[in-house]
Structure 1
């Protein structure tokens, strides 16, 4: 099991910048706005020759437990509980604050190795400014500049010295578990306040994400490893996506970009809908984006327990799906309530079924037998007075399922006939809710003489 290194400190001292620098890549959103990070964000990386799990946390602030900042602090405290080493970051440029001193006293009681990091200590005067942090009683501060990369190697060496000793030999069971196959990559998307973070917490069985009535609590894509009855799953919770015209702040632009990046890295997208609002235009845009990116989609109809006329709500949803998401015909819909857990147990079976279809490849023989029946049922149309000749079909890849049809002037095949083939393929090979690619190529049949 990897040792855990948690980065803590008050807001805007540069924790996320340091997290990205130590991880060796940009993972967390960085902005001048205080309190950008609200949920714990993790990354596996190598520090001082050791594989570790690095944890970025929300800014530490004194606040009542039921407030947003109180919930953020509770999340940071949970990160410290599982940490092997804590990095306490202060702002050398701004100097020590009463909050720094209060949290330093708290960390001294935590019984964890604490490394004091004086960030923003670039330039000639940086090291001198960092010396003020000596008075916190946490040892010698390490002067760094996360933005410019100064002092990072020294910090990595200090982390390596404080990591727990390696066990003499790794247990065989853990090695088998690590090699048990790649995790299914699952991204949870939707509009703000649809219940995405509540759903992730319900699946994990812990308060991993900060939730509450305030819309837009999640600002960055946050990943968590989990295991269902079938195998490992990499869950990613994302920031709510609003209409592009409504996004004005730079921070929200970064959040939206992070959510779209998570969608592109996913294999299955769970689109969380507010059942009280139904499938709105922004939900359709997200689903269409997932389809264009070739990702399979499952609809999680959240807050279903609060719907009074469920038959009418389901009929309205089916109508919108038929009219606006025909390219994902047959998409799986799971009515549920993330808040109380009702129906959540049906979500992952639906995800696994959709994932299996998305991965499925059809043999050339079965594909062409179906293709011949489709041509017999409806011949290709006339184009410029000449009938198109479609000869044979192949399926070179899955993820998403991709069908290539060869024939004379195949690229001129009208849209209606393409849709006829796609719908027939979806029904014949049981692929509802999965994006299907159709490519057309003009070519002579290499098997014609045979």
Structure 2
């Protein structure tokens, strides 16, 4: 299908590399909407993603020569729909349903380009996509990996970093998950109320990991990926409206809002990381802080106690209301991490608790926690373990040991900006 069949393109071919970057950006931002729309259209989740990927290949071939369409998301969707029709024709399955799809596609292509892609109209499709990817026939690991791929637009390598597992493992999980959903003939729908509870934990886990990737990108040239955080927050708001009596839904939304409030101060003009102690708190988004605190209050108002996301939101609230690092209620943060460790134990929670202990009672006691984690081997390969240990050693005046830890952390970091910061610390050039 020629690019001119769907929307206007730019007047001339883009400069070298710009079309490829445009394809990557569109896929990262719009993949969930594209796959969601296609799944509703063709009735097959696995086929929908295959069609979207084929359309992506066409974009990589055509856009560098013909220009980027004015509505690239709509272009990809239309190309994928046309491929579905062509495939059905080849399979001699041109029934009334396929004919209707072809007619609808022709109607869309005759419309004005600005009417072809309404992201707000696709909220339900994206939410359905999350729920089908979190279907109970899948393991939790498969649910999260699949949803990060098709909803978050993350690569297998990025998902592998988030899980601290080999890339091949993630790829196998995604392939197996798609085959399982196809075998189970899983319907593309938001499950009835009685079935939502068993899927909500996986759904929240997916949104949480997508937001974490936005907060600190696991790889690539940028430290943060704000477009992912916007999507995670948007989906969390949709989910909160769908399930208003679930405190952890509101808790996760609160956590995201309170954390995203600091995004504007987390990088400098060059895009390099600015750590919490050095951030200009006047640049924190007070509107987000207010919304986050309101969501946490809504969760607490349901009277069912705080779960893992509500506890993390409470920790973020402690940071949000403090006028400085020294003014932060570190004792309360330590208590909140202890509570979190009891209901949702994990080595990363313990690592974060150690960082809070260092602020509350000093680096020596925190170092003992870190050394225990290191000896256990559970965070082997996780760059923030040696990075945190390096900070503690430096505060204790053990500069050479600290530099060694920063060098190890830099070798493990997947993100270019973070690696550069750690390398500067290893050389003693950054404080």
For normalisation by structure 2, the TM-score amounts to 0.30
The structure that is helix-richer by fraction is 2
For normalisation by structure 1, the TM-score amounts to 0.29
The structure that is strand-richer by fraction is 1
